[in-house]
Structure 1
Amino acid sequence: MVSFVVSLLLIFRLIYLIFFKYRKGILYPEYFILLPPFFLFVIPYYINGCRDLSNLTLFGLVIVLLVSFISSKNIYNSIKLKQKKILISKKFNLISILAYIYLFVLIITIYNLLKSSSLFEILISNRLENYFEESIDTGSVLGSFSIVLSFFYYIKISQLFIEKKYLLASVFIIVELIYLVLFAVTRLSIVFPVISIILFLLLIFKISFKKTIFFSISLLFFLMFYLSYSNKLRTGQDSSQKISLTETFTDISRELDYENFHNMAYNYVKMNDYEYGYGWFLGSVVNFIPRFLYPNKPVTSAANRFTEKITGSPPSMYNPVITFTLIGDGYLQLGYIGIIINILVFYFISSIIFWKLYFIPDNIGVYPAIRFSFMAFIYFRAEIPFVQYFIYLVFLWFFYKFSYER
């Protein structure tokens, strides 16, 4: 009964935000903490016949619900420093230079892969197995540059659309999508960029709210069928048969087994103990220390670390990484207090980054804000992305400091 009530409250909260409070907007940080648990727990709850959720999950959902009442704009405004009015400098070309460098690297990386393997071989290859065995290292050229350069790449795309340079903007988008099709390890790595550009176009061309909602629902159903079908291809199952709606829901429910992951976290703590913030320390401090300075640097990813602790084997193709969500990760760190800390920190920093991007003058930060939004959805599944947050905050400071003139 408690699970049913909590799930209904979360659904009603989403309906209120989408159809009433924020009906003129597509994305808000409030959705970063509401939509992931909706897909990870509420939908599987109803698909599985309303089987009761664990106390750990219910506590996390209640915290998510309560935190969603804190306005993300108020968070941003409360820490916003006063700035002098600034104008974009037309003489400043560093953004374009970095964006074109990233475009060039993507093209060269794609060319090198296609030169070494046939397109068919690339598309049918098991990306996850190759990822763990590190047999495909062509994409490593991007490595640490990807987060850095992609930040300016997305700003450039937004800028090109606003300047109505649609052909060049399309080149930027298509090249990145081709790269993702060839290199992406997970399906969501392809899906989310596609959805991001579609939402951006809906916003740029001022598509009506009703049409946006209709399109979003249609896209959601397509996405469910795509995930089910692509999973059959990836795992070598017979994909020649027609996929029914019931079968699709069953496949999705089987993949969204996060309630079981929470039970794993609970049982681990029961048999061992909390980490008492050790994971936060590794992610926020140790993560920034280069391995050549710290040869014995431990695994900083909580998901990778606990996958090995709980299963007894390191992550691999046959022992996939378990992502415990912000709820499970917080519990592993400091119990129920850790859940509150995880969700609050995640929501506050995400709100600051989103609105800082969104309010870049002349709307050139809108597309990066949308891309960041979908990264935030992915982050909820695992742990607080300290490194990514730090990089975005530094780049935003850099952008505001050097790419404008008073």
Structure 2
Amino acid sequence: MFDAYALRAQFPLLARTPALIYLDNAATTQKPLQVLDAERHFYETANANVHRGSHRLAVAATDAFENARSSVAHFLNARSSNEIVFTRGATEAINLVAHSWGAANLQAGDEILLSTLEHHANIVPWQMLATRCGAVIKPIQLLRDGSLDLEHFHSLLSNKTKLVGLTHISNAIGSELPIAELINSAHHYGAKVLVDGAQAVAHKIIDVQALNADFYVFSSHKAYGPTGIGALWARSEILSSMPPWQGGGEMIERVSFSQTSYAEAPARFEAGTPAIAQTIGFAAALDWLQAQDRVAIAQHEHLLRLQLELGLSQIEGIRLIGNALQKGPVVSMAFTHAHPYDVAQFLDAREIAVRVGNHCAQPLLASLGLSGTLRASFAAYNTHNDIDTLLAALSETLELLA
């Protein structure tokens, strides 16, 4: 039996607030003590800038920073740590690809396919690029259950398709895409594929070599790590061909007023002083996650979702949004006679933290005829009692609002 209560004790914020039911994990997860200790240990023992000094602290800081890169590479089963670029998160990683690879490879008439499930972070950078270069964005439709319309996807693919952007798991309604199958189909037409793994890495074992994507991005803070740090993985042959997207220190080989040459990847894409402590905390979070029984966690989160969905089906006035057969640990709901914001406020008064709004997925919600939903999302430390308490609070709240 998986013991979520024992795991919860490793999270200081949750341990100090035992009444809190935290169900906003798709927005950000809580942090285990191991992550907090890793950041504190760096500041207390090795605080210095990286790659720039020969003194003891600088060497220790650089070693810790580059060891973190190796940890991320190992977590993703990348071929080399040189395939890992540190960014501020998944959003910046997508912008990096759009500004660097996209600007160098896309031209007028080229097509970009994006699923209707995408977070704004995997839409807006491509729209900005398309405006500059004349590329065309084509959205991939959904089926009524919230899964991707595979027939429509295949009908859109052509020799004009240059980039396919896909979420691994939808942050808004939880739909999980058959990523490997979609990648293989896109590659048949010579298209590159970027996968937004922000909602997947905390819940699934990711093997970028097996997936055979071209780009995979994710954020630390949705996988038990610090905010302000994330990673781009890209195949080494692609990274080596990409021009830099920001200029400054660290990303250069030699600078003169007549000519500047650039460092090899990944340094070429990491201008300026990085988020050193956060990067070390990032690696600590991934190390912590890999030390857990990830299969048991995944099964536990799956059972939490099924428990909530079954319970919601028995409460009048609640409609489950997203019924795809394959789903991550995310449940979105709408209400017949109540506004999601009002329900969320009642839940907050009962120390139940959920998310309400469009979840940075306005095109998706518009396609469903909605302006917002209430979303509950799970992590390893959530319990079956959390779900029972949420269901009871929802039932009580809807009676009060009726």
Larger RCO (CA under 8 A, 6+ residues apart): 1
TM-score, scaled relative to structure 2: 0.24
The structure carrying a bigger strand percent of its residues is: 2
The structure carrying a bigger helix percent of its residues is: 1
TM-score, scaled relative to structure 1: 0.24
